[in-house]
Amino acid sequence: MNDDDGLALALDVGGTTIKAELVDRAGTVVASEQRPTPQGHRARDAVAEVGRTLLAQRPDAPVVGAGVVVPGLVDREAGIATYSANLGWRDLELVRSLGAEWRLPVRIANDVASGGVAEHRLGAGVGTEDLVFVPIGTGIAASIVSGGHLVTGHRGETAEIGHLAVRTGVRCACGRDGCLEAIASAAAIARRYTGLSGSHVTGAHDVAARLSTDAVARQVWHDAVEALADGLGIVSLLVGPALVVIGGGLSRAGEGLLDPLRVALRQRTPVVHPADVTASALGDRGGVIGAALLARDGWAPES
Ligand SMILES: [Zn+2]
């Protein structure tokens, strides 16, 4: 599939929205569509439909392939989305049926991995071969690029750092105690602030906006930064990244998050060269940009 002059069909199946784009070789979006993501196996039909709609709009140019990125576990070889707790599917077959319907080669992968590959090749991680991409929103996940290669587990897992146990006495949605994401996800920051202050907030951005005037906001934010540094410190000691790229909703806090996190992470890693910490360059488009790269070359490391 080296027909680089053609278009790529790229789809990012998110928790609430399917983003779909036709992208040319230079990365320019030729056409785009969005749909709500249905729960369960109906998601496949919605993906198929939005792909069909885009392919019908294409200009007079060949489409070289499709990349579809989804949450949860993915068996890339078998072409099956194995499990998503949030979207409620198990063993959702995608590659064979979508390929037959669209008449294209189709590749699938995990969405966090997609964001990491996109940041590495086209975003905040350009110029380094060793980075960790950490989207922080309702949960916390990570994808690790080491020596230019995406690191995945034996069943296709990305790094589930949100469930590193870094505290005690805080129940996580996974059923265990003290997980990083129960303290430091954007959702947890908002929830903990409301619990401690009695004041309702709509999200972590409201807590960030109160940092200069509200001691409870400062405490909750400090707790989150310290917990993140503990989790990222473990990752740094294990794989030694040059760069940590923070994505997801919490990355919009900018230096109010990044600066204290940089300092706290350095304190955790005196025996290794400390990683710099920066914000995602691609924002919530990282997933679909990674899907376009997946369609073109299967994320084969650049030689
Ligand atoms: Zn957990």
Q: What is the pLDDT of residue 59?
A: 77
pLDDT tens digits for the chain (303 residues)? 445 689 999 999 999 999 999 999 988 999 999 999 999 999 999 999 999 999 999 878 899 999 999 999 999 999 999 999 889 999 999 999 999 999 999 999 999 999 999 999 999 999 999 999 999 999 999 999 999 999 999 888 999 999 999 999 999 999 999 999 999 999 999 999 999 999 999 999 999 999 999 999 999 999 999 999 999 999 999 999 999 999 999 999 999 999 999 999 999 999 999 999 999 999 999 999 999 999 999 999 765
Centre of ligand 1 to C-alpha 256, Å, is 26
C-beta of residue 286 within 8 angstroms of C-beta of residue 115: yes
C-beta of residue 239 within 8 angstroms of C-beta of residue 146: yes
Centre of ligand 1 to C-alpha 184, Å, is 12
Ranges assigned E (strand) in the chain: 7-13, 17-23, 29-36, 63-70, 73-75, 80-84, 89-93, 106-110, 131-135, 143-146, 149-151, 243-247, 276-279
Centre of ligand 1 to C-alpha 180, Å, is 7
Centre of ligand 1 to C-alpha 230, Å, is 15
Centre of ligand 1 to C-alpha 205, Å, is 23
Which residues, 6+ apart, have CB-to-CB distance to 50 below 8 Å? 11, 18, 20, 33, 34, 35
- pLDDT, tens only, 174-190: 999 999 999 999 999 99
Closest residue by Cα to residue 155 from 78, 74, 65, 50: 74
Centre of ligand 1 to C-alpha 136, Å, is 14
C-beta of residue 70 within 8 angstroms of C-beta of residue 294: no
Centre of ligand 1 to C-alpha 166, Å, is 10
Centre of ligand 1 to C-alpha 99, Å, is 36
Centre of ligand 1 to C-alpha 140, Å, is 10
Centre of ligand 1 to C-alpha 237, Å, is 21
- pLDDT, tens only, 57-95: 987 889 999 999 999 999 999 999 999 988 999 999 999
Centre of ligand 1 to C-alpha 186, Å, is 15
Centre of ligand 1 to C-alpha 170, Å, is 10
Residue type, 238: L
- Label the pairing between strands 63-70 and 106-110: parallel
Centre of ligand 1 to C-alpha 1, Å, is 40
Centre of ligand 1 to C-alpha 55, Å, is 40
Q: What is the pLDDT of residue 96?
A: 98
C-beta of residue 117 within 8 angstroms of C-beta of residue 272: no
Q: What is the pLDDT of residue 114?
A: 98
Centre of ligand 1 to C-alpha 7, Å, is 40
Which pTM was predicted? 0.95
